[in-house]
Amino acid sequence: MELWRQLLLNGSVKLFWRNEILDKFVNDISSEGFEIYTLDCSQWSSQNYHNDLASVLNFPDYYGKNLNAFNDCLSDMTTEGIGIVLVFKNYDKFAIKDNYAARTILDIIQTNAWRFLLEEENLKLLAFVQSNDATIDFPDLGGMSAEWNNEEWLNKDRDV
């Protein structure tokens, strides 16, 4: 079974603690034909994260720089490949500064991922969320919880 199918079984948002495991998953999913968009969230704040989202994701000039506009522009994304993976590094740093926005961004991604599967059969959407906090949790994203990848599923694999 393709990696993307395994990952989407329990939601489209996957958490990562170790960068080397994240890099392995990015490499593997890329080889399946996914476009990768990487965002470093270490300097994000409530005031500036939309600038990075717009720039990295190539949103149009009319992007409204709010969460509703993020939802609208994300739902309009297309790809030449099989799907899109949004890689968020150092997401814990942003979640500390603006937990509401951090959680809502992932909720929007989860909701759009399911919509794409139902309406746009040729487009898959995943989010790989790297955190330096091995206990980070985002429950109830699009009605599902973000879960740890299979190599860091157990707390002991994250030194917890």
Domain boundaries, the chain: 3-158
**pLDDT score for 94:** 98
pLDDT tier for residue 147 given thresholds of 50, 70 and 90: confident
pLDDT in tens, 60-78: 999 999 999 999 999 999 9
**Could you read off the pLDDT of 83-142 as tens digits, one per residue?**
999 999 999 999 999 999 999 999 999 999 988 888 877 789 999 999 999 999 998 888
Q: Write down the pTM of the prediction.
A: 0.90
Give the pLDDT score at 144.
67
Q: Return d(Cα 143, Cα 155) in angstroms, integer.
A: 23
Report the CATH number of the 3-158 domain: 3.30.370.10
Q: Identify the three-state secondary structure at position 160.
A: coil
